[in-house]
Each structure stands twice: as C-alpha cells, then as structure tokens.
Amino acid sequence: MALQWVQAPNAGWVARFGHTSVVTSDGRIWVLGGYNGSVRYNDVWYSSNGSSWTQATSGAGWTARNAHTSVVTPDGRMWMLGGYTGSIRCNDVWYSTDGVTWTQATSAASWTARSAHTSVVTSDGRIWVLGGAISTSPYYANDVWYSTDGSSWTQATAGASWIRRGGHTSVVTPDSRIWVLGGYDGSTYYKDVWYSTGGSAWTQATSAASWTARYIHTSVVTSDGRIWVLGGRGSSNAYHNDVWYSTNGSTWTQDTSAAAWTARSGHTSVVANGRIWVLGGCNNPINSSGYFNDVWYASLGEAVTVVADTVRRLAQAGLVAADTVRAAAAALSMASDTTRVAGIVASMTGDTMRLAGAAASVVGDTMRLAGAVESGLYDTARYASIVDFLFADCLRQTGVEGYAGFDVLRRAGVVAELFSDTAREVSIGITASVGADTLRRVQIAVQPACDTRRLAGGIVQVPADTFRLAGTGFNGRFDALRGLYRIESLSGDSLRHVSSLATLQADGLRLVGLLSLLSADATRLVSVGVSVRGDLQRAVGILEAAAADAMRIVTAWAESGMQVFYDAACRTRAVYEAGVVLRRAFEVMVKGRWHES
C-alpha cells in the first residue's frame, strides 16, 4: 500500500529551498538556513510535531547560506558543514547542542570549499563529506572525507569510483554501508547508485535505477532498512514528486508516481516519530511563489510509530529519564544518517547506556534498547517493534542474520549468554565479581541452545532439565520444578527470555529464572516499570532482589522440605496473575491513550 501523505500546517519559517533538516534524539525536527530566491538565512527552527514551530535563533554563528549539509552525531550535537553564501563556497564546520549557541569546529576544513555536497554519520560517530560543487575546474568533486571531531579531517579517497557530481544524496543503511544516489555534473543528470563500507572502495549497485535521473532530490532510510528517493529535479527543468524505495539499491519499487505534495527540488526529508517528512523546497526559482514552507508527512505504520513516540511520551510522563530518551533515539534514530542495525545499538551515547559487550550495570531506565516500551513485558516489547531482540526464536525478525548463536548477540553489542559458572553482574556482584576479561571470554563455554539463555545480571539457566542459581550450586530436576509450579507448557524455550526481565505468558511466570517472592519495588519495576527511579534504579537490582529471595527459598526448601517450596510456588502464581492484569492494562495504554495517530 502506497504511503498516504498528510499536510501539516505551513511552518512558521519563511518559504525556502537548499536548507537542511535533521532529527535530534528528543524527536525534534530541525530546519537550518536556506534560500528564498532573494535572501539567504542562518536561522534555526524546530518542531516536535511538524505543526508548531519554534525559532531557536534568528541568526546562528555561521554566515547565512544554502546548499550546506547538516547531521547529528551520537553525542547529540547538530553539525553544519560548508555551503554557499551567495558570493563564496565554504568549508567551515560548526556545531551546537541546542540550536541556539553555535561553536566553530574549524574555519577551514581540509576538504575544498563546496556546496551541494552530502554528509552522513556512521555508527562509529564519524562525520563524512562526499563530493559536491567546487569553485575551480573541474567544478565538481568526487572525493570522500571523514572526521571524528569536525576539526581534523582524513581523506578516505581523492576520487571515488562514481563520477564527480553535486546535488546527489547520501544515506547510511543498517549494515553500515554509505550510499550515493543520483546527482548532476553540470551537463549530465544521473540515476546510478553506489555504496561503500569504508568510504574508499565503492561498488555500483546499479548504473540506472528505475527512477528518472535527477538531482537536488532527497533520500532517507527507514528502520526496516529501505532506502527511499523522493522528488527532485531532472532534465528540461522537470520537477518530480514521485516516491521510490529499495532494499538493496539495485531493484527499485515505485511507491507513488505523484505524491500529494507539489513536485519540487531542494526540499528536505527526514524520518521522525514513525513518519517520513517532506519540508519546503522549490519548483520555480525565478518566482517567489515557487518556494515552499509546507510540511508533509506519511506514516510508516503503527509498529514503527510507537517506537519513537512511546519513548517521548514515557519521558513526558516521568517514567524514563532524559538519558534514556537520548539513547533510545540514537538506537533507532529516524534520521537517515543515524539508523542503527535493527534498532540494536552498536555505539550508544549517554552516561547510562554502555553495554560494553557484557551487558554489565545496565540502568533500569535504559533496558529498553532502541526505543522499546519501558515495560520489559514480551508482548509490549513486540508491540513497540523491538520484537524481543534477546528472544532467540525472534532474533531473525530484528534483521540481524541468524537468531540463536552467541555471535549474533555479540554483534548486536549485547552479550546475553555467559557460561554458567561465571555469569555475574559486574557492578552488582550478586555472587562474586569477575573481571571484564573473564566476561569477554564467554565464547569458551557458551551453550547457545535455545534453552540456555543467560542474563548478564547473574541469573543462569542451564540446559532444559536443570535450573541453577549462579553460584549457589542448587540443582533441581526440570520435571520436579514443573510439577511444583504447576505450569503447563513450561520448557527451556519458554524460560529463556529472562533478559526482558518479565515474560508473562499463558504457560506461567518466568521472572528472572523462576525466582519468586519478588520484593514490592522489584515487582512494580518488572510489571510495567511503574515507579522507575530514574537513572539510579538499575534493572539488575530486580535480579538482585529476586536472587536474594530465591536463595532464601532454596535454603528453606533444603531445611524444611517440599512443602515450603510448594507454598512459595503458590505465591509465585499469585504474582503472575497480578502481572497479567498489569500487562494488559499497560498494553491498553500503549495501543490506546498513548498512541498518536
């Protein structure tokens, strides 16, 4: 089904083209600079919904310009690079954390002053500059540069395989490929598509995409990895409003031949809050009425929308902290230049979002990677389009190759499987702290079977017929435990999702390894994240509280016999039943009152 385009109210900013737009981690859409046929701007505007716009500054530190580029890096900085002032092309670089105060990283970058170039940010935080129009012969470039700080630049290649050009587009896909699409070299319009993983060696995906050759179009990448091309200008001054997409850069599908918005070029497009946006642009540069300040959006679907929108709303409700919002948005950035692999963070920002390969000391608020709903409940996480990213059988749905092996989880930056005798949570030390080197050596004794999921919080599940709390040496027959808990379809497969902190399914309660008697605070956190205590309340605290209770159960069972354990099981069943009610209530809130159509 084709995208359905809806027009938001015209923006507060003056009609323009050649501006830039980015999306920050709080979901705000930004518009920077541009040109209206007579005046160039250095104003900065933002909006959380595309309808109501606020001017951050009427005059940023950088000179008014158009045909510049802007990106957002994982540390939350907005960047402005190069462009054209009406008299000169520029190679200065500026950044800001709030859109108001701008700092110059360099007045003259190593790359030649240029306009109509492209810039992207890769998952390692590097800023890239590709091609563009320059002021000396041959007037167009195909060099590629990158920087980690905006001031010191390294040339990846002086001449990429693609022909010199400007007005092209560039995006980064979840597999870390940098793409170049279309463009113009002063005489020829292009519709070729190229990609590179390192910026130096380039591969041609196609020499002739299905869409008409064009430049000053826009391209974005959505969370499902699709590359989109929207509008632009081609030969004979033909302006376009068609929309195309591709999953591989070579085969293209036309979503629509004529979108609801007027054909245009020099517009901007971003992905934010589950929507593709089109902002401003021009279709008649010699007539003031040919410049636009209209704003359009098309929803990508409920599941994608909830990811970004839910995090923002949870923050507004005080259920998650600011660091969580920034990290979640970085994980599933709707901006084309910061999309991450399947929403799983490879390079996270924020003081509380360091997984460091061992999933150690993960703050409770930030357990919802890539914008997962605050609750760790399986059904809610799936509704938020995270699809149980640590649930082995569902890993393939995240777009990461494979779904059961340790290598997959390690690539995702989350080591959730630790060999049984050394599974410890580093900062909490539930049983005994072990060094980071030991945790990294998980490949020595990993059992990646479906029923041996582990959580780095210290709770270990070993093969299906044995359950053991890390460090206690307690072993029990699976059949006996199943009888005690009186849960029908209890199996290793159904127990392994302990990484979600609470998987409440019809076959019973699996709270961090069948540990019962959760403390009141821990129960509230597990059951929807009610009363989350900000960045200081760590999710592993739930495991610690549960572990303590479980060890008491184990001791009581050993001392008092089966009856005590049976009583504990009954209490666990009661907790489960309460959890089901809370789960359903939370799903109603997410799907209903909190969902923004």
Residue located via tokens 């590359």? 227
Structurally, the chain folds into a number of domains equal to: 2
Listed residues 208, 234, 267: the one ending a domain: 267
In a domain, 475, yes or no: yes
In a domain, 563, yes or no: yes
Same structural domain for residues 118 and 214? yes
Q: Could you say which residues of the chain have pLDDT below 70?
A: 301-597
Domain that holds residue 431: 351-593
Tell me what pLDDT residue 9 has: 87
Same structural domain for residues 231 and 368? no
Tokens representing 317 are 């409700």
Listed residues 267, 293, 317: the one ending a domain: 267
- Measured between its terminal Cα atoms, the distance across the chain in Å is 18
Tell me what pLDDT residue 1 has: 74
Tell me what pLDDT residue 289 has: 81
In a domain, 49, yes or no: no
Tokens representing 546 are 């549960």
Helix (H) or strand (E) holding 89: strand 89-96
What is the CB neighbour count within 10 angstroms for residue 99? Answer: 21
Listed residues 224, 239, 267: the one ending a domain: 267
Tokens representing 328 are 């979640």
pTM metric for this prediction? 0.55
Same structural domain for residues 189 and 62? yes
Same structural domain for residues 98 and 211? yes
User: Rounded distance, CA 443 to CA 436, Å?
Assistant: 13
In a domain, 135, yes or no: yes
In a domain, 179, yes or no: yes
**Cβ pair 384, 372 in contact under 8 A:** yes
In a domain, 131, yes or no: yes
Same structural domain for residues 100 and 200? yes
Q: Strand, coil or helix: what is 388?
A: coil
In a domain, 111, yes or no: yes
Residue located via tokens 């709080």? 26
